[in-house]
A and B are shown apart, each in its own frame.
Chain A
């Protein structure tokens, strides 16, 4: 079964440093998403991306965050200057073209630890 893959599985970074999280969505999917989950809390939406542009973003997704689809397969999340509160599990998800009732499929996440 096709999967969403994410790298790295764990990233440890000093506060203030830039970090890039990478995702390879399922190949025939056209909608892409980033979510995060702070330890012990619920999964929260960050951003959705379609047709090479951001379609929606949450309040969390401030100007320190950016997303990019640099080629036909990768989808990246960049945090420009990390803060302690950015420590969380970051999940990439993708969805096939179609109605909104098509489910999103999640990668196994990148655990980001900010020191």
Chain B
């Protein structure tokens, strides 16, 4: 089983649509979770951290289900500028330590007019 698994997409949606991405991770001891976005041939940029209670940042909502080892990202009212690859990222280490990040392969989103 892959350490972090995502549906590669692409998800092609019209502007204004709501879209959801899912991710599963294999290491039940993982402690920290993030969504990054990556534009073509650019660096990963932090979109948001993911907390157990779920968290929201504007149009973006992230959820974590530790029992199912499942993370989700919901984007409401999609904009053309949301077109990118969304990376599910897990820190498999307990609190403290050096905390390498394990990346999923990403889910591509294309928002069209």
Contact = CB atoms under 8 A, between A and B. Distances in A.
Interface of A: 31, 33, 35, 41-45, 48, 50, 55-56, 58, 89, 91, 93, 95, 99-101, 103-109, 111
Interface residues of chain B: helix, strand, loop or mixed (majority): loop
Smallest CB-CB A-B distances: 6 pairs: A55-B98, A101-B32, A43-B103, A106-B43, A45-B100, A48-B98
A33 B97 CA distance: 13
Contacts, number: 66
Nearest to A4: B43
Nearest to A31: B98
B46 A101 contact: no
B80 interface: no
A108 B105 contact: no
Given A89-B41, A100-B31, A103-B34, A41 B98 contact: no
